[in-house]
Amino acid sequence: MTSKVEICGVNTSKLPTLTAEEKRELFPKIKAGDRTARDKFIKGNLRLVLSIIGRFNNRGEYVDDLFQVGCVGLIKAIDNFDLSQNVQFSTYAVPMIIGEIRRYLRDNNSVRVSRSLRDIAYKALCVKERLISSTQREPSLEEIAKELDLPKADVVMALDAVQEPISLFEPVYHDGGDTVFVMDQVSDDKNLDEVWIEQISLREALDKLPKKEHTIIDLRFFKGKTQTEVAGEIGISQAQVSRIEKSAIEHLRKSL
């Protein structure tokens, strides 16, 4: 999609780029109301918009429309960028451009979300941004719901309704280094380092058990059999299984 050379009358193969020094020089002029500096800065960042709309090339949308919407996000980023914050402009602008495109796609989606839900979601996002600005941390859903004087369930439903589904393999934007995908930022309690360590420790402790104790623990807790079933399988009484099981558990506790 983004291989198209001319988008909205702009020859993308000839888009200019700005150095970091040029950006730093232009911003004070922009804040002072210099329209020429503003136009130069916008043109110098159109390649950024072009790179971002490539992420949405499977939506069936016209590239010209996405490019225009992305430019709106770029202009909003320029107008709202705070020079006192020690962040690169691209780091600030990319989420705003993506957000503008996603709002456009959501509003033009064939799956319609009710106006009331969209209103709640919009208010919730505004409250979230305000709380982040004032507290310098991500607010909880409870805090957002309290600010809106709404049940938490209503806020969750509204925010879920306006979310665009994305692939776990969608790359997350960054300024350099290896590509980070969405799946790299999704928490998985089953694959935490602590869980792996516990599993390794348990496996080592099991290997230290006498053969009969190991067999009973395996049948009881890994294969889900009752003491009676275990007794019948290995040819001893249920009372013996119970006694050996308790001894094995005690050995495991000491090892762990």
252 or 61, higher pLDDT:
252
The tokens for 147 are 């600010």
Residue 251 within a domain: yes
Could you read off the pLDDT of 144-156 as tens digits, one per residue? 999 999 998 888 8
pLDDT at residue number 244: 92
CA 81 to chain centre: 23
**Domain C-terminal end among 109, 142, 173:** 109
**Domain C-terminal end among 48, 79, 109:** 109
Amino acid of residue 238: Q
> How would you write the chain as a 3-class SS string?
CCCCCEECCEEHHHCCCCCHHHHHHHHHHHHCCCHHHHHHHHHCCHHHHHHHHHHHCCCCCCHHHHHHHHHHHHHHHHHHCCCCCCCCHHHHHHHHHHHHHHHHHHHCCCCCCCHHHHHHHHHHHHHHHHHHHHHCCCCCHHHHHHHHCCCHHHHHHHHHHCCCCCCCCCEECCCCCCCEEHHHHCCCHHHCHHHHHHHHHHHHHHHCCCHHHHHHHHHHHHCCCCHHHHHHHHCCCHHHHHHHHHHHHHHHHHHC
pLDDT at residue number 65: 84
pLDDT at residue number 166: 56
Using the predicted structure, report yes or no on whether residue 96 has a pLDDT greater than 80. Answer: yes
Residue 174 within a domain: no
Could you read off the pLDDT of 30-56 as tens digits, one per residue? 888 889 998 999 888 888 888 888 777
In this structure, the chain runs to a length of 256
Among 21-35, 166-180, 205-219, the minimum mean pLDDT is found in 166-180
Measured between alpha carbons, how far is 27 from 8 in angstroms, rounded to an integer?
A: 26
The tokens for 47 are 């390649």
Residue 136 within a domain: no
Average pLDDT over residues 85-89: 76
pLDDT at residue number 192: 54
Could you read off the pLDDT of 107-136 as tens digits, one per residue? 776 555 667 777 888 888 888 888 888 888
Residue 169 within a domain: no
**Domain C-terminal end among 109, 124, 142:** 109
Using the predicted structure, report yes or no on whether residue 231 has a pLDDT greater than 80. Answer: yes
**Where in the sequence is the domain holding 242, given as residue range(s)?**
190-255
Alpha carbon of 118 to those of 93, 106, 143: distances in Å? Answer: 24, 10, 19
Residue from 24, 28, 61 nearest 44 by CA: 24
pLDDT at residue number 176: 52
pLDDT at residue number 189: 58
pLDDT at residue number 154: 87
Alpha carbon of 187 to those of 38, 182, 191, 192, 193: distances in Å? Answer: 41, 10, 9, 8, 12
The CATH number that applies at residue 199 is 1.10.10.10
Write the CB contacts of 211 (distance below 8 Å, at least 6 apart in sequence): none
pLDDT at residue number 111: 54
Domain count along the chain: 2
Among 20-29, 81-90, 242-251, the minimum mean pLDDT is found in 81-90
In angstroms, what is the C-alpha Rg of the chain? 29
Phi/psi for 181 (5° steps) reads: -100, 165
The tokens for 220 are 């009881």
The CATH number that applies at residue 51 is 1.20.120.1810
Using the predicted structure, report yes or no on whether residue 19 has a pLDDT greater than 60. Answer: yes
Q: pLDDT band at residue 6, thresholds of 50, 70 and 90?
A: low
